[in-house]
């Protein structure tokens, strides 16, 4: 074994779909579907087509590879291997190689999408559940990595849930364009089938639970594969964003979130105390690999006239690895979120360390509501905040020294203004609205 996908990354169910054995079996199914479609049009009998189908069970991947080593053509090797066990004049009649390859690939994509959409639904619902669970957990918001206004952990999870729900919607919309096959011959004109072309192609796709491409050359237009890889890259980006934030929030000096750490899990080979966020780091690393397939797949869409072969070698990698790795990190993220823990004590402590400085906007806007010019209020709070930073005092301690501020507020009113839980706007209501929407999309 050479590639980490073989022994380290990927789920068994997804790797099974994209295995070499699966690919050969699926291409054989396409050839059999073609024979059945030809039989329906009277080219051969149903009995002959069924006999070939039964005999193809004897085709071994090893034999296909032996023949390919001699003739250096994968689909002709497959056809010869079928012909060896089931002699029939009509095998591969009217078809070209990519009728078989692209249509078999469409069945792989179809089965992969079923797995992906179920896991996307599971993650989205899980995030929505966490959003409700943490709706009232007030925490320090951060922009530019610096303290900002208060928010809630429920709001953060609702934001991620909404992204995942949109990915689910995108996937549903994309299936119409993605899950198509072809049976259109060497340059797409169906010349080998004559006037029977549309009916033969439609019957093949019906048998394989696919739709026929509206038009193709020797290959299905690669824009649909580009869209698919872009979708996986977009999904991977959301997963990496979540994982990155889990890593940041798990940093020792923050300590608000913690990945589940198993009883016998080892964090470091030399530092026994370590509890590293390895699952989130795994997601981040592999998401970058998935996005790396976008460009080669786009290049694979740029083909000479009716086609050349430059896409073939690249797509044996891009489609397979992007799908397997996307499924892998999606599965990994479901595990992370399902066991994520929030340290409420540290969440509160991190809010308190700001000494009220992150509440400056609340005071500024309250002053404006009292009649002070907004820009004047901003300058007052800016200067007061700088003093608090310099003196290492609280915002409250510096505000009570400001005559113009105390002209408008009592000390008790200031204390209330500086409470994070009093400055959340519609955060809690937003969480509930988002969760309702997410659950309606993922029902």
Please report the DSSP string for 9-70 in residue order. Answer: SS-HHHHHHTSHHHHHHHHHHHHHHHHHHHHHTTSS-HHHHHHHHHHGGG--HHHHHHHHHH
Residue 211's SS3 state is strand
Residue 152 phi, psi dihedral angles, 5° rounding: -130, 155
CA-to-CA dists, residue 151 to 89, 228, 358, 405, 432, angstroms: 71, 35, 11, 26, 15
Structural contact between residues 244 and 280, judged by C-beta atoms closer than 8 angstroms: yes
**Rounded Cα–Cα distance for residues 406 and 410 (Å):** 6
Catalytic residues: 144, 268
Q: β-strands 211-212, 180-181: how paired?
A: parallel
Residue 212 parent element (H or E): strand 211-212
The conformation of residue 250, written as its DSSP 8-state character, comes to: H
Nearest alpha carbon to residue 157 among 234, 240, 231, 246: 246
Structural contact between residues 288 and 282, judged by C-beta atoms closer than 8 angstroms: no
């Amino acid at each position: 074994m050479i590639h980490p996908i073989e022994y380290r990354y990927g789920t068994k169910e997804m790797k099974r779909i994209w295995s070499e054995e699966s690919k050969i079996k699926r291409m054989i199914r396409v050839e059999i579907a073609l024979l059945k479609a030809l039989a329906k049009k009277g080219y051969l009998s149903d009995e002959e087509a069924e006999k070939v189908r039964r005999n193809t069970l004897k085709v071994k991947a090893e034999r296909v590879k032996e023949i390919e080593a001699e003739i250096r053509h994968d689909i002709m090797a497959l056809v010869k291997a079928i012909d060896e066990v089931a002699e029939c004049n009509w095998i591969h009649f009217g078809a070209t190689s990519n009728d078989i390859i692209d249509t078999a690939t469409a069945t792989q994509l179809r089965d992969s999408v079923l797995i992906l959409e179920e896991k996307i639904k599971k993650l989205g619902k899980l995030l929505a559940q966490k959003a409700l669970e943490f709706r009232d957990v007030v925490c320090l918001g951060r922009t530019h990595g610096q303290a900002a206004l208060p928010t809630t952990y429920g709001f953060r999870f609702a934001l991620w849930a909404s992204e995942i729900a949109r990915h689910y919607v995108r996937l549903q919309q994309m299936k119409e364009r993605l899950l198509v096959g072809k049976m259109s011959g060497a340059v797409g004109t169906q010349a080998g089938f004559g006037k029977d072309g549309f009916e033969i192609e439609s019957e093949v796709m019906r048998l394989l639970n696919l739709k026929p491409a509206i038009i193709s050359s020797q290959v299905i237009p690669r824009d649909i594969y580009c869209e698919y890889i872009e979708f996986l890259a977009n999904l991977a980006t959301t997963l990496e964003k979540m994982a990155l934030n889990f890593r940041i929030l798990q940093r020792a000096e923050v300590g608000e979130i913690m990945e589940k750490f198993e009883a016998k899990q080892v964090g470091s080979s030399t530092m026994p105390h370590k509890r590293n966020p390895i699952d989130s780091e795994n997601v981040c690393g592999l998401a970058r690999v998935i996005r790396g397939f976008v460009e080669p797949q786009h290049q694979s869409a740029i083909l000479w006239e009716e086609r050349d072969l430059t896409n073939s070698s690249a797509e044996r990698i891009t489609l397979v690895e992007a799908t397997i790795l996307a499924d892998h990190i999606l599965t990994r993220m479901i595990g992370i979120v399902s066991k994520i823990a929030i340290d409420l004590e540290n969440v509160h402590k991190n809010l308190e360390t700001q000494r009220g400085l992150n509440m400056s906007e609340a005071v500024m806007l309250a002053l404006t509501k009292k009649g002070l010019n907004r820009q004047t209020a901003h300058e007052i709070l800016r200067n007061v905040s700088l003093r608090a930073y310099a003196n290492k005092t609280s915002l409250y301690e510096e505000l009570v020294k400001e005559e113009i501020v105390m002209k408008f507020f009592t000390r008790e009113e200031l204390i209330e203004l500086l409470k994070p839980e009093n400055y959340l706007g519609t955060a809690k209501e937003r969480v509930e609205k988002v969760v309702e929407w997410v659950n309606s999309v993922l029902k």
